[in-house]
Amino acid sequence: MSEWTPLSINLRKRNVPVNYICHCCNLEEETLEHALFWCKEVSAIWKKTALWSELGFLKGISCCDVLQRLFNRGWKNDLAFVCMVMWGIWYNRNCRVHGKKVRTEYRFIRLGVGYVGRVSDHSPEIERWFNW
């Protein structure tokens, strides 16, 4: 999964002259896992969700492994929520790269909750995703 994404580090491997440092924190190489979970700015988004207690200890494993663990636990709505927030984070990353307006972190969380809420007929379990 991470080999075919247009991450700076992958572009560098293909000899495309780009800055391979993360566009959000400007501190580490931009890997898929760093861009979606572990960047300081991105992890601040995840920490605002109740799922951080599940995700926080998974540092060092691949993005696919994170999703697989959620899937194996049978948490379909949690997996859908994580995918929506990941989409929002990736969208924000692309806005940064291309000089467009960056969205706020709460918007990503609300986007994920809104989508999953519509899909799961407004399940009360959605409320547990928020820890504020």
Distance in angstroms (rounded) separating the CA atoms of residues 122 and 52? 22
Q: What is the pLDDT of residues 64-120, one digit of tens each?
A: 888 888 788 776 777 777 888 888 888 888 888 888 988 776 666 676 666 555 545
- pLDDT over 50 (residue 130): no
Contact 64, 33 (CB under 8 A): no
The reply to whether the predicted model has a pTM over 0.75 is no
Per-residue burial over 81-106, b = 16 or more CB atoms within 10 Å of its CB, e = otherwise = bbebbbebbeebbeeeeeeeeeeebe
For residues 84 and 18, what is the distance between their CA atoms, to the nearest angstrom?
A: 28
